[in-house]
């Protein structure tokens, strides 16, 4: 096993999980969560909040002479939950579109998001050694955040060590951010530049494909960070989708009368090709679990051996960069999560007229599916995040896999007990599958984020268990903001097929 001391920066023992840092992290988490919910519903994309949180943290904590890189790292770790947990907004509004919910219940939404996010943290703890310490995965966003933290906090660290100050490189960070901002303003604000365009190509009577070309400063930076190998993998996926599958399927499937070629090709991509991609993700996830089985088991074994060290003298031998949450702490948090899931699942299921025994069965099965599927996607998403980054990780594909598994389980259960014969039974079963998938997506999103943060902490010399605690706090705090903002946007704009007032314009 590679020692963390070989690659991690050996900062002195500095304060990490401070009260002021946690309060700042909470504030940033709430603001960024609300922003991500709005942005995600408006344009279908959320932004990673790790790097912006790191920059804000450094700017604010710089006013305190005793601030340090590890404290800034804890702030960005906590606030990074905002950029990932908000992915739940792509699932939950389906309950309103289905007509099962008329709004977003605060406590149900809070418990669902907080418990799902916290499970994502716990499930990635045994993966840390296998996927962060003993892995050559690039973790582009994690490394980028680490570099920003190091150059932004370098002056404090060097002053503490009495060394001569060096150029921090902050000019490069500010210059890159300014250039990106100017380009985005010209493209999206003044519309004097174009960030993307597409050219539709007809290959026959009905066979159609698209040549999409885009230019994004954010993706340019991400491409530089992930390297040529991962970039080629993404390019091959695009060629397979738009160069082979879409032309082939549009050539053998007859479009509906009056549908344009471009709209037909887009529909084929959305309803056929994406599911092929989801299947590839599923197989890749299974293969990843098989490949990671031995290192994960070894990592768990080494973690347990390290955590069994109770003698104070022996504890000093262990480096703080190799300490995860204790088994007792993990067990207590897991128990609290299960209780929270039981409460929210019971509240959801009991709204439909079922017998007490059947309600209990649905609750137990729903939790089991969410937890078991959650561990499966945690490993898959953690690997994908390490390969191509959190922002580019295919959460939508994981959502598709989650809804397929959840729907099959709920279908079998509901068919066995005649729920579909009851009034509203089909709507209830569909809603429950969406509800279970919401937990799975929360787990997937946070597992994406947690391993990136652990990589950042590994590079700057942070304590893993403190990062894990910070991200659990971020998941809980971020969950408080999701339901109110969703309800506000629903009342203001409504969703497709779900309008709060009959007088609202469906368009």
Distance, in Å, from the CA atom of 290 to the CA atom of 284, rounded to the nearest integer, reads 10
Helices 425-460 and 50-61 pack at an angle, to 10 degrees, of 50
Cβ neighbors of 284 (< 8 A, separation 6 or more) are: 380
Check whether residue 161 and residue 141 sit in a common domain.
yes
pLDDT value for 200: 76
**444 belongs to a structural domain:** yes
Q: Are residues 373 and 489 in the same domain?
A: yes
SS3 readout for 468-489: HHHHHHHHHHHHHHHHHHHHHH
User: Does any domain span residue 485?
Assistant: yes
Do 171 and 184 reside in the same domain of the chain? no
* 420: Cβ contacts below 8 Å, ≥ 6 apart: 414, 426, 429
Range of the domain at 258: 180-278
Q: Count structural domains, the chain.
A: 2
Instruction: Please tell me whether residues 175 and 190 are part of one structural domain.
Output: no
The residue from 224, 251, 278 where one domain ends is 278
Both 304 and 171 in a single domain? yes
Is 9 inside a domain boundary?
A: no
Does residue 439 belong to any structural domain of this protein? yes
pLDDT confidence of residue 499: 72
Residue 380 and residue 256 share a domain: no
Question: Does one domain contain both 328 and 258?
Answer: no
74 and 186 both lie in a single domain: no
163 and 188 inside one domain: no
**Helices then strands, each counted (H, E), the chain:** 20, 2
Which pLDDT score, from 0 to 100, does residue 160 have? 45
Same domain for 390 and 485, yes or no, is yes
What pTM did the predictor assign?
Answer: 0.74
- In angstroms, how far is CA 124 from the centroid of its own chain? 12
Using one digit for the tens of pLDDT, what is the confidence trace for 404-421?
889 999 999 999 998 888
Q: What single-letter DSSP state applies at residue 166?
A: -
The answer to whether residues 166 and 218 belong to one domain is: no
Q: Tell me the pLDDT of the chain (507 aa) as tens digits.
A: 343 334 444 445 677 888 898 899 899 888 888 877 877 776 555 666 777 788 888 888 888 877 888 888 898 888 887 767 777 888 888 888 888 888 889 999 999 999 998 998 898 888 787 778 777 777 877 887 888 887 766 654 444 444 443 344 556 667 777 887 787 777 766 777 766 667 777 776 667 777 777 666 766 765 665 567 667 877 888 888 888 898 888 888 888 887 888 888 888 888 888 778 777 766 776 676 676 566 556 655 665 565 555 444 444 455 677 777 888 888 999 999 999 999 999 999 999 999 999 999 999 999 999 998 888 777 777 777 776 666 656 666 677 778 888 999 999 999 999 888 898 889 999 999 999 999 998 888 888 778 888 888 888 888 888 999 998 998 899 889 888 988 888 887 777 677 777 666 655
Burial 427-437 (b: 16+ CB within 10 A, else e): ebbbbbbbbbb
Task: Quote the CA–CA distance of 11 and 160 in Å, as a whole number.
Answer: 10
Residue carrying the six token digits 């190091």: 150
Choosing from 223, 245, 278, the residue where a domain stops is: 278
**Domain boundary, last residue among 249, 278, 307:** 278
The end-to-end CA distance of the chain, in Å, is 58
Evaluate whether 63 touches 99 at the Cβ level (below 8 Å).
no
Tokens read off for 289: 């679990």
Burial, 399: exposed, middle or buried (Cβ in 10 Å; 0-12, 13-18, 19+)? Answer: buried
Q: Indicate whether 91 and 168 sit together in one domain.
A: yes
Residue 409: the pLDDT is 94
Whether 148 maps to a domain, the answer reads yes
How much is the pLDDT for 100?
Answer: 87
pLDDT confidence of residue 2: 42
Q: Is residue 502 part of a domain?
A: no
- 507 is a domain residue: no
Tokens of residue 241, six digits = 């989708």
Q: Evaluate whether residue 403 is within a structural domain.
A: yes
């Amino acid at each position: 096993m590679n020692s963390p001391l070989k690659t991690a920066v050996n900062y002195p023992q500095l304060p990490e999980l401070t009260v002021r840092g946690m309060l700042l992290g909470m504030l940033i988490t709430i603001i960024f969560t609300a922003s991500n919910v709005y942005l995600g519903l408006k344009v279908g994309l959320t932004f990673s909040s790790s790097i912006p949180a790191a920059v804000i943290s450094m700017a604010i904590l710089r006013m305190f002479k005793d601030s340090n890189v590890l404290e800034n790292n804890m702030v960005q770790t906590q606030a990074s939950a905002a950029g990932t947990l908000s992915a739940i907004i792509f699932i939950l509004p389906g309950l309103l579109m289905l007509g099962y919910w008329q709004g977003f219940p605060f406590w149900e939404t809070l418990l669902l998001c907080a418990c799902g996010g916290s499970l994502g943290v716990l499930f990635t703890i045994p993966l840390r050694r296998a996927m962060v310490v003993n892995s050559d995965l690039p973790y582009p966003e994690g490394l980028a955040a680490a570099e920003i933290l190091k150059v932004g906090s370098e002056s404090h660290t060097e002053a503490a060590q009495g060394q001569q100050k060096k150029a921090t490189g902050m000019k490069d960070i500010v210059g890159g951010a300014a250039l990106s901002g100017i380009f985005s303003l010209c493209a999206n604000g003044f519309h004097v530049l174009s960030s993307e365009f597409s050219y539709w190509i007809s290959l026959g009577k009905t066979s159609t494909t698209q040549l999409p070309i885009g230019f994004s400063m954010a993706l340019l930076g991400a491409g530089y960070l992930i390297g040529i190998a991962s970039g080629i993998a993404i390019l091959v996926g695009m060629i397979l989708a738009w160069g082979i599958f879409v032309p082939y399927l549009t050539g053998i499937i007859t479009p509906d009368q009056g549908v344009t070629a471009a709209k037909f090709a887009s529909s084929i991509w959305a309803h056929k090709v994406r599911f092929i991609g989801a299947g590839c993700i599923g197989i890749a996830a299974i293969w990843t679990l098989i490949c990671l089985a031995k290192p994960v088991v070894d990592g768990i074994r080494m973690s347990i051996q390290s955590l069994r060290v109770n003698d104070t003298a022996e504890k000093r031998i262990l480096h703080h960069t190799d300490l995860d949450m204790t088994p007792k702490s993990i067990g207590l948090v897991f128990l609290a999560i299960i209780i929270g899931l039981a409460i929210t699942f019971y509240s959801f299921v009991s709204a439909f007229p079922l017998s007490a025994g059947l309600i209990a069965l649905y609750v137990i099965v729903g939790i089991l599916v969410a937890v078991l599927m959650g561990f499966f996607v945690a490993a898959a998403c953690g690997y994908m995040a390490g390969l191509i980054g959190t922002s580019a990780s295919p959460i939508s594909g994981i959502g598709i896999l989650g809804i397929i598994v959840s729907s099959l389980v709920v279908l079998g259960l509901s068919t066995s007990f005649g729920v579909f014969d009851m009034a509203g039974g089909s709507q209830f079963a569909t809603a429950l599958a969406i509800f279970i998938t919401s937990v799975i997506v929360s787990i997937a999103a946070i597992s994406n984020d947690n391993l990136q943060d652990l990589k950042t902490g590994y590079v700057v010399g942070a304590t893993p268990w403190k990062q894990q605690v910070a991200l659990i706090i971020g998941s809980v705090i971020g969950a408080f903001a999701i339901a109110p903002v969703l309800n506000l946007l629903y009342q203001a704009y409504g969703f497709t097929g779900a309008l709060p007032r009959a007088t609202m314009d469906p368009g």
